[in-house]
Amino acid sequence: MEYRTKFGSLDSHDRGRVEPIDDDPRRYAFSNLFEVAASSKPYEKVAVAKNLQYAIEAIRAEGTSQWRVADHDETALVMDGEVTVELLDLADPNAVASGTEGSIGLDGDPKGTPMGHAVAGRGHMVLLPAHRAYRFAAEKPSVILLQTIQGRDTVERWATICQTMI
Q: What residues between 135 and 154 interact with other proteins by CB under 8 A?
A: 145, 147-149
Q: Of the candidates 43, 44, 45, 50, which one interacts with other proteins according to CB under 8 A?
A: 50
Q: Of the candidates 51, 94, 108, 165, which one interacts with other proteins according to CB under 8 A?
A: 51
Closest-CA residue to 143 (of 48, 18, 28, 17): 48
Minimum Å gap between C-beta 140 and other proteins is: 17
CA distance 153 to 41: 13
Instruction: Kindly state whether residue 107 participates in binding other proteins, applying the rule CB under 8 A.
Output: no
CA distance 38 to 120: 19
Work out the burial of residue 165: count CB atoms within 10 Å of its CB; fewer than 13 is exposed, 13-18 middle, 19 or more buried. Answer: exposed
CA distance 7 to 147: 20
Tell me the three state secondary structure of residue 84.
Answer: strand
- Binding residues for other proteins, total number by CB under 8 A: 71
Instruction: Kindly state whether residue 110 participates in binding other proteins, applying the rule CB under 8 A.
Output: no
Distances (CA, A) of 26 to 58, 121, 128, 135: 19, 33, 32, 34
Instruction: Kindly state whether residue 98 participates in binding other proteins, applying the rule CB under 8 A.
Output: no
Instruction: Kindly state whether residue 165 participates in binding other proteins, applying the rule CB under 8 A.
Output: no
Instruction: Kindly state whether residue 8 participates in binding other proteins, applying the rule CB under 8 A.
Output: yes
String marking each residue 18-37 x if it binds other proteins according to CB under 8 A? xxxxxx-xxxxxxxxxxx--
The residue among 72 and 110 lying less far from other proteins, judged by its C-beta, is 72
Minimum Å gap between C-beta 134 and other proteins is: 10
Instruction: Kindly state whether residue 113 participates in binding other proteins, applying the rule CB under 8 A.
Output: yes
Q: Which residues 63-92 are close enough to bind other proteins by CB under 8 A?
A: 72-75, 77, 79, 85, 87, 89
Instruction: Kindly state whether residue 116 participates in binding other proteins, applying the rule CB under 8 A.
Output: yes
60: left (phi over 0), alpha (psi -120 to 50) or beta: beta
Other CB atoms within a 10 A radius of the CB of residue 86 amount to 17
